[in-house]
Amino acid sequence: MVRQGMKPAAQPRAKATRDKLVAAFEALLRDKPFEQISVAEIAEKAGVSVGAVYRRFDNKDAFIPVIFDLYRERAEAFAASPEGRFTPGPDSCLRRTLTRIAEMTWTFLDREGHLVRAAHLQARLRPDLIGKEWDVLMEAGVASARTLVDLYAGEIARPDPDEAARVLFYLQNTSMIEYALYREEGPGAALRLSGNAFAAAMADAMYGYLTAR
Amino acid sequence: MVRQGMKPAAQPRAKATRDKLVAAFEALLRDKPFEQISVAEIAEKAGVSVGAVYRRFDNKDAFIPVIFDLYRERAEAFAASPEGRFTPGPDSCLRRTLTRIAEMTWTFLDREGHLVRAAHLQARLRPDLIGKEWDVLMEAGVASARTLVDLYAGEIARPDPDEAARVLFYLQNTSMIEYALYREEGPGAALRLSGNAFAAAMADAMYGYLTAR
Amino acid sequence: MVRQGMKPAAQPRAKATRDKLVAAFEALLRDKPFEQISVAEIAEKAGVSVGAVYRRFDNKDAFIPVIFDLYRERAEAFAASPEGRFTPGPDSCLRRTLTRIAEMTWTFLDREGHLVRAAHLQARLRPDLIGKEWDVLMEAGVASARTLVDLYAGEIARPDPDEAARVLFYLQNTSMIEYALYREEGPGAALRLSGNAFAAAMADAMYGYLTAR
Amino acid sequence: MVRQGMKPAAQPRAKATRDKLVAAFEALLRDKPFEQISVAEIAEKAGVSVGAVYRRFDNKDAFIPVIFDLYRERAEAFAASPEGRFTPGPDSCLRRTLTRIAEMTWTFLDREGHLVRAAHLQARLRPDLIGKEWDVLMEAGVASARTLVDLYAGEIARPDPDEAARVLFYLQNTSMIEYALYREEGPGAALRLSGNAFAAAMADAMYGYLTAR
DNA sequence: TATGAATGAGGTTTCATTCAT
DNA sequence: CATGAATGAAACCTCATTCAT
């Protein structure tokens, strides 16, 4: 499937160029936000000419969907990896599972934070260009939250399990993203918790939410 | 007191110009992020010349502290207003109070969201320029959270009340800011909760955190 | 006498302001060239308002004659001082006197170089504004050179004593100014002579010129 | 070799643009000093866009080395030309040779004075940007002065031939530059000598310096 | 009259995008 | 096709000068 603003890259060479550009773009995203990355910089890092960039992408904005594509790709890969697999043992309980999930989220953010950061930033700076990107991205997460909600349905007091799963996923993610990515630069500076301690607090809050009567 | 990058405005006319500039700047912030606002635009909206801007502010970046100043100012004004006053009645309980606070936060964000948004965005885009802005801003909030923690100490299970107050304030704020400001453009799009419903969910989560054993 | 671009300063207060401005201007000239000095800077250093500057001077260019006025004033004062007086003893000879003069020139440049530098620079950068400034300035110098030429007429081989005096004064001054003021920054960096050694070389050259047959 | 602030111009088109810019820059230098030339002006005169200027030069200051490059280039070309070749005949003597050299210098200054003027002015106005430019520029001149000193060693009384060569080159150059370039605008206005007459006076002075005992 | 705030033209620089080679 | 040079609009900032108070 060809995304908005990207051009078909049928030939192997075209594909190779595209891959180099995406890799260069992602590398730059680790250093600075999208607005501070110039097209010339991407080209240079990819080892191709500026013209070649415009042969693969309509314009600079066409790189924004790339952020979301990579985000999705990594999220899926993580979910499929041992680190990201969520397999409660026979003696597990809701609280322990929530803690485990919070820790997993933390691990993912540690690794792919640059994509998450860029995705959030673009959603704020260029909302017009985002469209339904988030919907797809959240689907899988919400689904797995729903699995959890169903699994521990006995312990959970929320009347609407779908809503519960959505809220669970949303609250946990936004808080942890904020803390994992912007601890130093944002209001999180007032907190001095380690990743694990924060994950534990998070799990408590989520447990409270799910079991509140 | 004169902030970094701002120049003293002793004379009434200078003060008037400064006020016009700040008002114009804030108005523009409602429409678009800082990076998309040009100095010429601020000047035009304020009805002064470009040169006049530079007589009051060292450079464009000197407007960033203004965001935090306004944020603080509005937060204080809100806290002092009837809407923002937090006065638990004799029969109040922790859960009810948490709900009330979540609703207040929502109201504030609805009104002054542009400042909160700008503050967060700048913290992400130009962390070097922010410094201790957040510390001051969070002080009051954390203090009032601490009041609450002390008030309901009997119901609360957290061992360290200071940490509890900080986490309470932080989690509540970041989640609600995210939802209030970026519901449409961010991952919040997957949720379809009203402000009140979200505030209620928030209160449950916070209650869970505070009372978790 | 009121110079071009300067305004009459009859009242004592006006005179005082003018003096403060001139002093501030000269002080700044020691640090940087005219083009890099702003009107606001002069005003500030003088402790008066920008408006006050424009009450005393038509515009920034009206400060240029001030350079020449000060130059003249200092040159006259120096010539009248013991250091600058040129009184050959009974057993003096042309060569010794030339050396003495070269050393005197060096001393003057060491002290009032900022004015000489500014005068030369302005003559190069804004020749239109200079007019007859140099004529007056050189008159005294040429006259004293003429005294010398007449005094040692026996040793001197030049047919036209007036021309000899002019060339003597001109060559000596331009070379020494260049060396005294711009040794480091200009082609003089290739030389490594002390002021005295340079003065001696200068005297030899001048002696050669005057006695050449 | 690519100089500080200049960018490589490998391709023919890039080279052509660079050449057009340099030519335009030099043409403008004939009219006015560096500080009064705007980048837009250079671009317009070269028939290219402003952006093209910045693709070839880091910033406006990167044009300063161009002045020195052209200076050197012209000096070398002149030295290699019949006009600039210095070949004393069998019956030549020191004095005649000095006169010949003074006249050559005059011819060069008449032709390339704009570069010499710009070089000197920049050395005065922006000494920080000049660095070792003069060293290279003077090397050749001093070397040829040294040839002369060695050639007429018998007539010359100076103990240190290297120093003699340096002083010779320096004095002659500074004085003649001053007179050739600023006769009208500087203290030279008091003299009314033709180029040849001035060159002759110069030769006498230099002869005096070299033969002084 | 003195102050210093305001003006606005002019300068430098950046960079997404186009296009000649 | 790929390259990278060229374009040009738009941004920031300065400062001599004017003018309201």
Question: Across the interface, which of B123, B206, B209 has its CB nearest the CB of A186?
Answer: B123
User: Is residue B54's beta carbon less than 7 angstroms from any atom in nucleic acid strand E?
Assistant: yes
Q: In sequence order, what are the residues at sequence separation of 6 or more whose Cβ sits closer than 8 angstroms to the Cβ of residue B189?
A: A134, A135, B183
CB atoms within 10 A of CB C148: 22
**Which residues pair with residue A57 across a beta bridge?**
A6
Model pLDDT, residue D184:
82
Question: Across the interface, which of D169, D187, D193 has its CB nearest the CB of C173?
Answer: D187
Range from B87-101, B140-154, C46-60, D190-204 carrying the lowest mean pLDDT: B87-101
Q: What is the token pair recorded at C191?
A: 């030389």
pLDDT > 90: percent of chain D? 71
Kindly report the pTM of this predicted structure: 0.91
Q: What is the token pair recorded at B110?
A: 């609805």
Q: Which nucleotide is nearest to B57 (CA to C1')?
A: F13
Contact of B108 with B78, CB cutoff 8 Å: yes
- What count of CB pairs under 8 Å joins A to B? 131
Question: Across the interface, which of D123, D124, D208 has its CB nearest the CB of C205?
Answer: D208
Q: Which nucleotide is nearest to C60 (CA to C1')?
A: F16
Q: How far apart are CA B82 and CA A80, in angstroms?
A: 52
Chain D residues with beta carbon closer than 8 angstroms to that of C204: 208-209, 212
CB atoms within 10 A of CB D107: 17
User: Is residue A7's beta carbon less than 7 angstroms from any atom in nucleic acid strand E?
Assistant: no
B31 touches chain A (CB under 8 A): no
Q: How far is C178 from chain D (nearest CA, A)?
A: 7
Range from B17-31, C7-21, C102-116, C147-161 carrying the lowest mean pLDDT: C7-21
Q: At what angle do helices D94-125 and D133-151 cross, to 10 degrees?
A: 170
DSSP state letters, C4-44: TTB----SHHHHHHHHHHHHHHHHHHHHS-GGG--HHHHHH
Model pLDDT, residue A19:
95
Q: How far is D112 from chain C (nearest CA, A)?
A: 16
Can you say whether residue C92 is alpha, beta or left, with left for phi > 0 and alpha for psi between -120 and 50 degrees? Answer: beta
D146 has a pLDDT exceeding 50 = yes
Considering only CA atoms, name the residue closest to the C1' of nucleotide F18.
Answer: C51
Q: What is the token pair recorded at C190?
A: 């290739």
Question: Across the interface, which of A173, A185, A208 has its CB nearest the CB of B207?
Answer: A208
Q: How far is B10 from chain A (nearest CA, A)?
A: 33
Q: How far apart are CA C112 and CA C116, in angstroms?
A: 7
User: Is residue A129's beta carbon less than 7 angstroms from any atom in nucleic acid strand E?
Assistant: no
C185 to D130: CB separation less than 8 angstroms, yes or no: yes
Quickly list H helices, chain A.
12-31, 39-46, 50-56, 64-80, 94-125, 133-151, 161-182, 195-211
Rounded to the nearest integer, the mean pLDDT of chain B is 91
Q: How far is A44 from chain B (nearest CA, A)?
A: 23
Model pLDDT, residue D1:
47
Q: How far apart are CA B59 and CA B56, in angstroms?
A: 9
Q: Give residues 142 to 161 of C whose Cβ lies within 8 Å of D.
A: 142
* Per-residue pLDDT tens over the stretch D7-17: 776 678 889 99
Model pLDDT, residue D160:
94
For the domain covering C12-58, report its CATH number. 1.10.10.60
A185 to B138: CB separation less than 8 angstroms, yes or no: no
Coil, helix or strand at residue C1: coil
Q: Which of B25, B9, B13 is nearest to B60 (CA)?
A: B25
Distance from CA(B96) to C1'(E13), angstroms, rounded: 58
Q: Which of residues 39-78 of D touch strand E (CB under 7 A)?
A: 39-40, 50-51, 54-55, 59-61
**Which residues pair with residue C6 across a beta bridge?**
C57
Q: What is the token pair recorded at D86?
A: 């210095």
A213 touches chain B (CB under 8 A): no
Distance from CA(A27) to C1'(F11), angstroms, rounded: 27
Largest CA distance in chain C: 61
B190 to A170: CB separation less than 8 angstroms, yes or no: yes
Sign of the dihedral through C-alpha B201, B205, B208, B210: negative
Q: How far apart are CA D39 and CA D59, in angstroms?
A: 9
Chain B residues with beta carbon closer than 8 angstroms to that of A205: 171, 205-206, 208-209
Q: Which nucleotide is nearest to A13 (CA to C1')?
A: F1
B187 to A173: CB separation less than 8 angstroms, yes or no: yes
CATH topology of domain C64-211: Tetracycline Repressor; domain 2 (1.10.357)
Distance from CA(D27) to C1'(E11), angstroms, rounded: 20
Model pLDDT, residue A9:
64
CB atoms within 10 A of CB D159: 7
- Flag residues of chain A having pLDDT under 50: 1
Protein-covered nucleotides of chain F (CB closer than 7 Å) are 1-21
Q: Give residues 41 to 80 of C whose Cβ lies within 8 Å of D.
A: none
Distance from CA(A192) to C1'(F12), angstroms, rounded: 39
B127 touches chain A (CB under 8 A): yes
Phi first, then psi: what are they for D98, rounded to 5°? -60, -40
Q: In sequence order, what are the residues at sequence separation of 6 or more whose Cβ sits closer than 8 angstroms to the Cβ of residue C2?
A: C8
Contact of C186 with D123, CB cutoff 8 Å: yes
C129 touches chain D (CB under 8 A): no
Model pLDDT, residue A4:
65
Q: What is the token pair recorded at C185?
A: 């920054």
User: Is residue D159's beta carbon less than 7 angstroms from any atom in nucleic acid strand E?
Assistant: no
Chains that touch B (3 or more CB pairs under 8 A): A
Q: What is the token pair recorded at A37?
A: 């990355």
Distance from CA(C26) to C1'(F18), angstroms, rounded: 26
* Per-residue pLDDT tens over the stretch B62-115: 999 999 999 999 999 999 999 888 777 777 889 999 999 999 999 999 999 999
Q: How far apart are CA A72 and CA B69, in angstroms?
A: 38
Chain C residues with beta carbon closer than 8 angstroms to that of D191: 166-167, 170
Model pLDDT, residue D4:
67
* Per-residue pLDDT tens over the stretch B22-75: 999 999 999 999 999 999 999 999 999 999 999 999 999 999 999 999 999 999
Domain residue limits, chain B:
12-58, 64-211
Coil, helix or strand at residue A57: strand
Q: How far apart are CA A67 and CA A42, in angstroms?
A: 14
Angle at B204 between CA B198 and CA B207, to 5 degrees: 140
Shortest CA distance from C131: residue in chain D: D185
Q: How far apart are CA A112 and CA A117, in angstroms?
A: 9
Q: Give residues 164 to 203 of A whose Cβ lies within 8 Å of B.
A: 166-167, 169-171, 173-175, 178-179, 182, 184-191, 193, 201-202
Q: How far, rounded to the nearest angstrom, does the alpha carbon of residue C183 sit from its chain's CA centroid?
A: 17
* Per-residue pLDDT tens over the stretch C52-68: 999 999 999 999 999 99
C1 has a pLDDT exceeding 60 = no
Considering only residues C161 and D84, tell me which one the structure prediction assigns the higher pLDDT. C161
C134 to D208: CB separation less than 8 angstroms, yes or no: no
Model pLDDT, residue C140:
84
